[in-house]
Structure 1
Amino acid sequence: MTASHSSRSTALLTDHYELTMLASALRDGSAGRPCVFEVFARRLPDGRRYGVVGGIGRLLDAVREFRFTDAELEQLDRTGVVDERTLAWLANYRFSGDIDGYPEGELYFPGSPVLTVRASFAEGVLLETLTLSILNHDSAVASAAARMVTAANGRPMIEMGSRRAHEEAAIASARAAYLAGFTATSNLEAGRRYGIPTMGTSAHAFTLLHESEAAAFRSQVEALGPQTTLLVDTYDITEGIRTAVRVAGTELGAVRIDSGDLGVLARQARQQLDELGARNTRIVVSGDLDEYSIAALRAEPVDAYGVGTSVVTGSGAPTAGMVYKLVEVAGRPVAKRSSHKESRGGEKAALRRHKETGTAIEEVVYAAAGPQPALGEHDRPLRIPLVRAGQQVDEVPTLEQSRERLRAALVSVPWEGLKLSKGEPAIPVVFE
């Protein structure tokens, strides 16, 4: 699924109680019971009309690396987390079950069976924390990023939030943002691991390093060529633009504005650039942007956006709120009844119905073991096989294919479902 990079065991990226449940189940003989676990969200974050499935590719990589090597077993033994019997069982752990799920880039709604894990209780329960950690983070970022891409209305988007996140979360965020339609990332490790285009030129520190703004611009142009992007708001923007064109010429690639009233400044910059003869010089804006501020800039002469904090933190919703629940034991549906935390028993599948025009009208969730609802000409099943007998299937979509899936899925959403205003989920979920 990904470019080669140094791997390590993911087995301890889990919670203590997963292993104590395993130890107890091994002791009472229930560990081998065939089970079905499902991942779903009970609700969308406040104000959201849809969610985007992200992280499936990363999860499959992590499941493959879920191995208890000597180092992990020694840690568990030294800290007394589990007994000798459980340690011996973990030493031979290899996930051998099946996984189905919504492909990356698919939309999900409250109750959508995003992921289904079929395995023994022992094998399946150990993947709970890892699965939720990856899917909750990546889906939150992808969902926020998709709203920003829609707000940008076709203009390029650059993810540049690495310094606002944990170093590994930054890489995952760059991948999720790219999945959602961002054009590039500033994170070089994300470029190496996932083949995402990377971009970047200079920060204010580079301008401050030099004795004058002109000297800084001259150095950058000499190193990167006149098509580079010059940061013009270190001092006075009007003077910065004038200096940038004087140094780089009228074929300057772009100017970037990182502060102030971006709409007003973009209009002023466009007028000034045109008057200076730099009519093809693009205007890039950045600085605490989110989907709302991007939408507010839609009518302004902005050519590209750089987004940092809001995208890597899910723009106020840093988790997708997904849960991993046991729904079937040895063919018997089971369900949690706790108030406000209910689940529906039994393995489920789903399909999405569409009008002839391609607009989605509802998502139908039904018992996987029962008869499948009639599939209309424009309807499509949502789950695909991901893992069979512990091995990833060959047909898992690539990151590029998942980008295209999301683009098509968003086109199918009713127009009102793409609004940034609060409202009901864009597509209702019907349970049969």
Structure 2
Amino acid sequence: MTGRSGMVDVDHAISRTHREEWTLIVAGLVRRYGDLDIAEETAAEAFATAVERWPVDGVPPNPGAWITTTAHRKAIDRLRREARRDDKQREAFMLQGDSPAEPTGYIDDDRLRLIFACCHPVLSIQDRIALTLRMVGGLTVSEIARAFLVQQATMGQRISRAKARIKTAGVPFTVPEREDVQPRVAGVLAVLYLIFNEGYFASGENVDPIRRDLTEEAIRLARLVRALLPKDSDEDAEATGLLVLMLLTQARSDARLSAGGELVRLDEQDRTAWDRLLINEGIALLDERLEACGRDIHALGRYQLLAAINAVHASAPRAQDTDWARIVALYGALERIDPSPIVRLNRAIAISEYDSPDVALAIVDQLGDDLAGHHAFHATRAELLRLTGRPDAARGAYDRAVELAVNGAEAAHLIRRRDQIPATHATDGTTTHEGETA
């Protein structure tokens, strides 16, 4: 019988395998069986079998291969049981696991093929992003719903409809030919950006706050997508911008958590721990883009502008050296093409640094209806309330931000910031809070 330490090792092995192998396993199953439901469900069943068997039999030498083999067996068993089976599934059933795959396009990468299939034009942009985050990113429905700021049930229905639409339309699981790549690029880039963000700011309880498997995979795929695009096209420019954004963000990973596992704010990070190789690569690529457009920020797309904002931070040797006027201008250009509440929130943060917290707070307060369920809104509002001399209101905003925090590292940071606020007292010595009577 496996002891407690053995169970912990098994749990860790299953979690690590799921984190590192999910996308490859699902993508391989999709390639062979041509069905998203079969791929996702049999992969999940294989992991469930691992939960049952590994504590008894031990963790296999190659966990990923064990899961893959088990998933293939379950897929074949399922096809045997099903009375209706199209020609492609019959052929897949006859194939052995190590048999050569059919030609699948001019890029030999299962994960990239799956992304392009999920980002087919038969789906809306929103459905392409949601489906790919589930199938390729391995994110849960609740995590994707949080990214879209919608209810979990709504997102589950959206993903189910998207899978059904892919199946009904007979979408091939191949990388499209070069002339067909560009119409899908916007959805692909959006997916890669969200996968990267989930890795850099992982959500959920008892998870690593930074998931390098996701950030590194997003960067790898971004490089591949960029290689597919015509040089100097608008799509190439945005793909380059996204790659730069990822590189500059990834460069800060080692400084982002304290020794105790708490989130470290950008202005408090040890900049000597930033990865200068990634920063230099990113800034060099961005400079090429800026030269190509005559350094006109209004000629830049969304990802290029976000990359340029991050380049300002990456170029400042100290937090106090940050060129906030430049960042406010870049956010202004970004807001013109993407007037989303999150962009406006981030612009307000920059305005707080460049102008005043009072001006910024007025902007943030206008976003309450759109971002009431978003942790970043309440965390930002807490900081601004604190800076404008309203400690009790700030404490309440911190409390709400802690409730909505997506991981323990962020919650720990917010709790520390809240607890640094001195308590206020009524004249009779009773501690009071805004909105309450003593």
The alignment's TM-score, normalised by the length of structure 2, stands at: 0.21
Q: Which has a greater percent of strand?
A: 1
Higher relative contact order (CA 8 A, sep 6+): 1
